[in-house]
Amino acid sequence: MYADVTSIHVLHVSALLAVRVPLVKRLLVMMKFPPILQGESLTRLLQGIAIGAVATIAIGFYWGGWTLGSTADKMANQRSETAVVAALAPVCAAKFAALPDAAAKKIALAKADSWKRGEEFPKELVTLQGETSPNSALVDACSKLVLSEKAAALN
């Protein structure tokens, strides 16, 4: 029974194809493509499209200000860290000035090289929440405030 149904379907499909294939060929012959879509012109058109796409991408990324999502994320993280450091530096300087041995630590801080200044601060003053080591940008900003004349105004 299934063989009969299958053979009927095969005959039906092949009959449809026999009728449609010549029809499609005739339609394609009857359709006249514009000269720009034929032969050499089509090649030039596709080359122009490809060159235009590459030029648009290059100009957009280099001069147009386009960025990838990862680059935008990095820029946002840098700006947020800068804002956090700017907000925490005065607090750090005030807490440093409130330390019992602030005068001695300030002298040691002034004598220390810039890359060793993080050792002169208590770790909890210059470590951002969620980090385990002191933040170098916060150390720099806080040490500048402590060593400047503004630190005297904080006391």
Nearest-angstrom CA–CA distance, 60 and 52: 12
**How far from each other are the two terminal CA atoms of the chain, in whole angstroms?**
101
CA atoms within 13 A on the CB side of 127: 12
- Encoded amino acid at 85, one letter: V
Q: Which two tokens stand for residue 138?
A: 């916060």
Q: For the chain, what percent of residues have pLDDT higher than 70?
A: 73
pTM value > 0.75: no
User: Collapsing DSSP states into helix, strand and coil, what is residue 149?
Assistant: coil
Residue 136 φ then ψ, to 5°: -65, -35
User: How high is the pLDDT of residue 90?
Assistant: 94
Q: Is the pLDDT of residue 10 over 80?
A: no
Closest CA to 138 of 104, 99, 90, 102: 90
Tens of pLDDT along 16-56? 555 555 665 666 666 676 776 677 888 888 999 999 999 99
Nearest-angstrom CA–CA distance, 74 and 77: 5
